[in-house]
Structure 1
Amino acid sequence: MFDRIRAAEGTILDRPAYHADSDQEEEKLDGGVIWKLERAQYFNELDDPAWDAFVAGDWARVMEIFESERDAVRADVGRYVHQGLEFRRLRIVEDPPTPYLQWESHSHRIFAECGHAIRALDTPEVAHLEGANPLPELMIYGTRVLYQVRYDEAWTPIGAKRVDDPELVAGAAAAIAELWERGEAFSDYFDRCIAARSISRPAGGN
């Protein structure tokens, strides 16, 4: 399934066009699930004050920013509930966690505490689906459309490939749903693998 997604024809969108297009697709949904699959263990975050603070070694500032986002996160959850939607984020995690994953996990913990549905799944659980290529980064909006998020060599986001094949969209959603059932609540993953670790600044880009 995931190899088919990589090979599928689609519309290539740059980053602003992808964000605008996916926002429109979200507005069209009348209930259902939005899936987000995250596989890479490092992303180069753009225009993110919390990431900039992390790179600068200011962990107190990182947590100040993350904590300040609670009201906005709760508002997003309320908007999804009002629209009859559930946003489900599946985070594939490696052991030991990279500095990026440690940083991101503190944000995800707050998101989960505010009502977002997030689960973590260890990489051995997806090894049978990966050969030369890791799982792609995906966003799926109901049964309408999926986006394979695109990055440059430094893992800076550059947009997405939009795929409108209904059979492929349905198959991808089913595959992620199956992985979701094997995942653990993100709060449990955080307590098990992140909470007691010393935070390291990113080195060598990750």
Structure 2
Amino acid sequence: MADLTARGTRLGPLVRETPGRVLPREPYNDEVIPRVLGGAHPLWKLERMQSFSEPDVPSWVAAHEGDWRRALELIEGMRPGLRAMSQSLSRLRRTRIAERPPSPYLQWEMQVFLARTDAGETIRVLDAEAVAGVETDGPLPELLIIGPDVMYEILYDDAGGHMGGRRIEDRDVIRVCTEELAELFALGEDFRAYFAREIAPLPPPRTA
């Protein structure tokens, strides 16, 4: 397994120490969505948390309530919308850090990722053990980088509910974080290989 400690990954401290402007959820969405849809630069996303709360997503609600079949049906219903976003999704490079065994949320999210990869997104999965040595002062941040001028630390409450984001515009910091996200991405495993081995054989998750 890759030794990220020896490689000197600085993402966590660098993001935490860099000033930024906090945006509540609605202003964050109003700002980020047009940037994502209208931009031309590659998009880099890092996901570290193992459980989120997404009450606005019907498939998540169904899975959370224990109706796995309905959750999968609703994911299939998301495919036309994802195909309509294929141009933006094709620019997105997502690194998903995964613990073992996968949480119920992660098991559900990986089903969504199947649809997202079919629509053009590139996703790689990195085992959480690979980053343990660089998380001595806390988990790696949830990040979205939109080109060389703006990066967001995505913020969540204790229950995993989206609270907005913290906008960072220091170009030097963004450059370093982009380089390190690219390295994490390269170290990750192809999503479909991970899914076939770790997720596909699992029974429906227990959420109760």
Q: Calculate the TM-score normalised by the size of structure 2.
A: 0.90
1:60 aligns with 2:69: yes
**Range with bigger deviation, 164-173 or 128-137:** 128-137
Q: Distance in 1 between matches of 2:171 and 2:30?
A: 21
Q: Is the 8 A contact 2:126 2:189 kept in 1?
A: yes
Aligned counterpart, 1:20: 30
How big is the shift at 1:129? 2.0
Opposite residue 26 of structure 2, the aligned amino acid is P
SS in 1 for 2:165: strand
- Find the partner of 2:173 among 168, 177, 193: 168
- Find the partner of 2:198 among 166, 170, 193: 193
SS in 2 for 1:12: strand
Aligned counterpart, 1:126: 131
Q: Distance in 2 between matches of 1:99 and 1:56?
A: 11
* RMSD of equivalent CA atoms: 1.5
Cα-to-partner distance string for 1:12-58 (whole Å, 9 max, x where unaligned): 100011111112433563x3210110000001113111111112211
1:80 aligns with 2:88: yes
Could you list the runs of 4 or more consecutive aligned residues of structure 1 that deviate by over 6 angstroms after TM superposition?
Answer: none
Q: Is the 8 A contact 2:65 2:207 kept in 1?
A: no
Count of residues in Structure 1 that have an aligned counterpart in Structure 2: 198
Aligned counterpart, 1:35: 44
1:153 aligns with 2:158: yes
Aligned counterpart, 2:21: 11
Q: Distance in 2 between matches of 1:48 and 1:70?
A: 14
Mark the CA change 1:26 to 1:115 in structure 2 (over 3 Å): closer, same or farther: closer
* Structure 2 unmatched runs, 5+: 1-9
Q: Calculate the TM-score normalised by the size of structure 1.
A: 0.91
Opposite residue 38 of structure 1, the aligned amino acid is E
Identity %: 38
